């Protein structure tokens, strides 16, 4: 099964993707982790991605395809991915079919509070506000895209980690 986990920054996508991948005995792909790793490399791609991260901007579609396609092409037996797709262009260019999309709903105040508490250098109030603005502009339409396909499962992301995990499993019928 190929599952996408979406939601605003701080909604618990990474945590839930990791738990779900473990439960399903499948691969967890975190584009955020991949991008941060590449950004630390002294390469043209690393410098380009680092610049996007430092500005709090979404990585452009072309660069995203370059990075994500490589990872998805290596997977043979399903995955749980978070951080992709983030734009309609990315969703429409589905190189691997998506079975279900889990949307972790979370309000901006709670998202900001969670992000500030994790202490990453790119989690400043200004960059968080910028990323949330981009999320609503670029990613929310992707939710509607999957909703129209009947693939979207909406989960209250404000609950505890175990509660959210159980809600996800119930919505998937697991």
| DSSP assignment string, 19-58 | HHHHHHT-EEEEHHHHHHHHHTSSSHHHHHHHHHHHHTPP
Q: Do residues 148 and 141 lie in contact, with contact meaning Cβ atoms separated by under 8 Å?
A: no
Residues 69-81: pLDDT tens digits?
888 878 878 999 9
Q: What are phi and psi of 73, to 5 degrees?
A: -65, -25
Q: Is pTM, for the whole model, over 0.75? A: yes
pLDDT beyond 90 at 19:
yes
Instruction: Determine the average pLDDT of the residues in 9-33.
Output: 95
At 116 the pLDDT is 94
Give the C-alpha separation, 59 to 86, whole Å: 9
Residues 115-161: pLDDT tens digits?
999 888 878 999 899 889 988 998 889 999 999 999 999 999 999 99
């Amino acid at each position: 099964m190929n599952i996408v986990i979406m939601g605003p920054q701080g909604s618990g996508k990474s945590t839930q993707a990791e738990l779900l991948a473990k439960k399903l005995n499948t691969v967890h792909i975190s584009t955020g982790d991949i991008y941060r790793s590449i950004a630390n490399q002294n390469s043209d791609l690393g410098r380009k991605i680092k610049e996007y991260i430092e500005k709090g901007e979404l990585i452009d579609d072309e660069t995203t395809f370059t990075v994500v396609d490589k990872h998805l092409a290596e997977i043979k037996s399903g995955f749980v991915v978070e951080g992709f797709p983030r734009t309609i262009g990315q969703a429409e260019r589905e190189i691997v079919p998506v079975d279900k999309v889990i949307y972790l709903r979370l309000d901006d105040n709670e998202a900001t509070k969670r992000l500030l508490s994790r202490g990453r250098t790119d989690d400043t109030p200004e960059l968080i506000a910028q990323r949330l603005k981009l999320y609503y502009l670029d990613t929310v339409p992707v939710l509607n895209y999957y909703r129209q396909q009947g693939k979207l499962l909406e989960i209250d992301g404000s609950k505890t980690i175990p509660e959210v995990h159980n809600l996800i499993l119930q919505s998937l019928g697991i």
